[in-house]
Structure 1
Amino acid sequence: MSINELHFFLHCDTMLKVRSETMITEKLYDKDSHIKAFTAKVIDCRKNENGFEVILDKTAFFPEGGGQYADTGKIGEADINDVQIINGEIVHYADRALNIGEELCCEINWEQRFRRMQNHSGEHIVSGIVHKLYGYENVGFHLDDDVTIDFDGELTREQLIDVEKRANEAIYKNAKFTCEYPDEETLKNLSYRSKLELTENVRIVTVEGYDVCACCAVHVYSASEIGIIKILDFARHRGGIRVHLLCGKDALEDYEKKYENLRSVATVLCAKQNETAQAFERFSKEHSALKIELAALKRELAQLKASAMENTDECILIFEANTDMNDLRKLVLNGAEKTEKLCAGFSGNNNDGYRFAIASKSIDLREKSKEITSALNGRGGGSSELLQGSAAASKEEIEKYFKENF
């Protein structure tokens, strides 16, 4: 287990244990996860280096824990950007001071909270199914742009497809979620998933027919609120497997983006959407064949250009708009056979600069390399017979340099 994972597990354990011990704030989120707005009294407000720490007599703001980020929202006119449990207190981090004793309207960023509940509750269903079918433990959970679950055993793509199907069946059945604190005797006889040994004040989240797990986070009332569970990807991870998934609104938005991409690709390929893979495979084969044909034509063209060159005792300069370096090298190597000096080829334009290749049978280009690249305001290198690189000089400056120096 990594240090980060251990820290996460211990933090969750701490949250589970302090719920009913030292806190002076009534935890509305523990009683009802769907409270969006409420009124509360400010019982403390103290300044810190980044703003203010606010303590309320009651709160529906969920403090970070159990792999789920803290809620954000407003308390009166103050923006709340984080909520943490610090030394047994639920601390709301505000951007401005609030008057102690004042009753204020509080509002949670419900869109954000609900999406997180959908994803976290979906994770419980998936983890419960994997545990029942294969006995694997969820040893790591992270909720960010997508949900990642780390299991301590490997699963195949076919097995994960089956897990996804079963998870969505839980939604169709509208499996109920219940959250409770069993007494010590009940807890002893209860079989539940937990990353640590817990003995008191343990909050148990049950998904009817699918999962029983110790968890301090807020969840949906029933699986129908999740809407959809979609496994996106998976990969081997530390001897087990890491699964990426999305649930609810996040899964729907992900589908919409991918559908639009698929529709665009299908349009470009002139194919039906359910036949894009086959159409792309055909396109890829045709593209590869055309690349081979194009390479052959370029070789033939280079040979024709070289054949068209007349023998000369002057430098041969060739300017091309867009020729790759391989073809440029072949062209100047052939051209070097026709001159007593050198053949220099340039591909590009005055605005973007040029790539160049220079070949010679009579001049040691390695000795001339620094002089040439400096004169062309460029860089490059090579052998005694072939020099290549890039140049920022204009066509006129290049022609002038070679005319005056070779």
Structure 2
Amino acid sequence: MSLDFNTYDNLRSIFSVKNMVSDFFRKYGLAFVMVASYFGSGSIFIASSAGVRYGYSLLWAVIGAVLLGYMAQDMSARLGIFGQSLATFAREKLGRTASTVLMILLSIGCVAWTLELTAAVGKGIVVLLGLQAIGWAPFAYLTGVAAIVVGILGYDWVEKIMVAMMFALLGSYVLVASVSSPDIVAAATGVVPVLGGLDGMVLAISILGTTALWPNFFLESELVEEKGWSGADAVPNMRRDLAIGYTVGGITTIAIVVAAAAVLRPAGYEQLETFLTPGKAMATVLGEWAMVVFLVGTLAAAFNSIIPIMWAPAYMIRETLGGEYANSRRTFLVIYVAGVALGSLSPFIHQYLGLSVIDMIILFPAYNAVIGLPITVALLFWAVNDPDVMGDHTNGWLLNILNTALILVAAYSVYSAGGLVIETIFTGGLAG
């Protein structure tokens, strides 16, 4: 049997593409796991709200949040490459008991995130398929089961899934934004910082809180080992990886802001009642296809976030326990499965705390921004400036100046909104 030239060329093309993909995943991909974790339903709702309420004028906040997220991930990756994981650093500096208690307290925030994500996916499925009679609760539970199955597949599989989903999200939202006839000049002026009053500043901080995601600081320092990144030679690849991942995430967020500003704001929307409102509204202007694309993207983004967010406690607690637990796959799986199972109980939170799905989507990321982010940023800043851990690779003065910006913004978020967020969660939500 012989192959003609066309068949041979086709096979060679297929193998060439396969080799390119394999080479990409060998060098890159970790940043997409990080970006996918922050790109959930809360991020989409907040970005849509920014476009509806302020048009293009908060695009600067998206760019700033991406840059700050990049810098924080760079610190975390360098810690893992030259020193140790952030959780191990906490154990060595604070002691096993204190660090384990701290990791468990932080993990409550990850469970809270998962609660809003399972609620968002459940609600989205109901709306998308017209199953209001059934309600969203059963689909929240099923989402948790699916996340458990995918999350235990192993890093390589999850990385490939995350990369594929992020590029799909990028294509979907850029498509919607491009046909919405945005004002290019107004969008260009939106990269110049304008605070827009207290509400605008709070929304800008919310964008930061959903982009500079504190569980990623623990994850990146752990997962650099999965990529085989060790030593100074790995830093250029790590930084290119972060640049690619955060560029895709940033462009996707900008596309959502632009679509909301170009479609929803001119249509008379002043605020969004639910995280599904943008999709419904776009259907009236652009057609049903826009709603389907937007809602499917929202569901995919929310599900994507669950896995890396709940990986974080599994790594954190395992590392701080140390000893026989530090490298135990079984310990990791037990913590991960238990965490996701708790995060699937969003219907009970709805029932007993009176929080709606939209309450959870807004308040639980905000809780993490005012509790988890400041603690983790301070711990990370301490680690990358410790010569006993980093050797000759501690932060230089320029990196410390840039990284201090993240610490100051995190501190401001606590000062400006900490008490209000906690009170609102326990008093029936935003309408309570």
Q: For this structure pair, what is the TM-score category when the shorter chain's length is used for normalisation? A: under 0.3
The structure in which a higher percent of residues are strand is 1
Please tell me whether Structure 1 or Structure 2 has the larger radius of gyration of its CA atoms.
1
TM-score by length of 2: 0.23
